[in-house]
Amino acid sequence: PRDPGLAEDQTELAVEGALRPTSLGEFVGQQKVRGQLQLLLDAARIQQRPADHILLSGPPGLGKTTLAMIVAHESERPLRMSSGPAIQHAGDLAALLSSLTPGEVLFIDEIHRMARSAEEMLYLAMEDFRIDIMVGKGAGATSIPLDLAPFTLVGATTRSGMLPNPLRDRFGFTAHLEYYEPEELELVIGRSAAVLDIQLPAYARAEIARRSRGTPRIANRLLRRVRDYVIVHGERDGALPRATTADVNAALDLYDVDAIGLDRLDRAVLDALIRRFRGGPVGLNTLAVTVGEEADTIESVVEPYLVRIGYMGRTPRGRVATPEAYAHLGVPRAEEALR
Ligand code: ADP
């Protein structure tokens, strides 16, 4: 039977694919990282060898997968995609590595979630393009060395702190992606609007950018919701649907994105922190249980942005809400302190 939910997801994924830049030149922002990657790729091209291994860290939706695709595209090499959770045993990794063609780019998303046993195999593979395959069990077990085709590993992680040092040390290049400035998001949105055939005046672009949590994926997602809204309710200016600020506001309010881009989960976390725990400090796990979300999601998705905009602080004793967070939720602080 058809699963409408899944079909919708796949359409969304296909659109996300269509919106991905394919060259470093089209990739917006992250100027420093772009320059560093360009040099890395140029050097590899001149020497006709695979580029050094690359580690990209940062919150979801900032362009790690896109950069991995660009690395493959710009170096004209095939790309193989996998992820940490899909590598549960060393054998999974051995199968993957031994099937790579010379120079292939291997992308491992969420590399911090790979099995420990695979991690150790990866050290040797990254360093010497070789793995040792264990054959047999117990006293009769032997290891057979297997040479691999040289490859470029691009690892992505939302939690670089969770990566063991020996693994991190084996990347020739590591970069941390930062949240985007609103002006950069406006560029992303303008580009996507052209792809999606929707007219977006500058003020509409700015409004979506302001509400996108510094994240291109969210900017693109909100743009698609605005497009839906305009297709249904908007005025037509010639052939292309055209979004007004009122359309943008109406569409985004419908999807529970507030004036500064916080979504329901962001606000639930702040709300728990302020009303339930009187501003903290409160431990991550307690906070996660209170809002019914996994601690990992809170730590890698919610918290980095709230910290970045100065709404949440991290202390050794736990998370605390700042005066700005109180103001945003409209909770008076003095009253809180008296209770
Ligand atoms: P991550 O792997 O970090 O979660 P992705 O690479 O999947 O993020 O990016 C999510 C979406 O955001 C993609 O559709 C991509 O088109 C868009 N995107 C991300 N970074 C940029 C950028 N710098 N310029 C333009 N679009 C971007």
From the DSSP assignment, how many helices (H) and strands (E) are in the chain?
16, 11
Give DSSP secondary structure letters for 8-70: HHHHHHHHHHHT---STTTS-S-HHHHHHHHHHHHHHHHHTSPPPPEEEESSTTSSHHHHHHH
**Ligand 1 centre from 158 Cα, in Å?**
14
Q: Rounded to the nearest whole angstrom, what is the distance from the C-alpha of residue 231 to the centroid of ligand 1?
A: 25
pLDDT of residue 2: 40
Query: What does pTM read for this prediction?
Result: 0.90
The string of pLDDT tens digits covering residues 295-321 is: 999 999 999 999 999 999 999 999 999
- State the average pLDDT over residues 203-225: 94
Q: Is 183 annotated as a binding residue?
A: no
Task: Check pLDDT > 90 for residue 273.
Answer: yes
pLDDT bin (cut points 50, 70, 90) of residue 334 is low
Rounded to whole angstroms, the Cα distance separating 296 from 311 reads: 19
- Would you say the CB of residue 62 lies under 6 angstroms from ligand 1? yes
Query: What is the C-alpha to C-alpha distance for residues 295 and 318, in angstroms, rounded to an integer?
Result: 13
Q: How far is the CA of 327 from the centre of ligand 1 (A)?
A: 32
Active site residues: 64-65, 109, 158, 217
Does ligand 1 have an atom closer than 6 angstroms to the CB of 220? yes
CB-ligand 1 contact for 182 (6 Å cutoff): no
Whether residue 335 has pLDDT greater than 70 = no
Residues across the chain: 339
20 lines ligand 1 (CB under 6 A): yes
Judged against a pLDDT cut of 50, whether residue 5 lies above it is answered with no
> What Å distances lie between residue 221 and 31, 80, 144, 229, CA to CA?
23, 26, 48, 13
The pLDDT, as a whole number, for residue 3 is 43
Amino acid occupying residue 274: I
- Tens digit of each residue's pLDDT (9 = 90 or more) over 14-67: 777 788 999 999 999 999 999 999 999 999 999 999 999 999 999 999 999 999
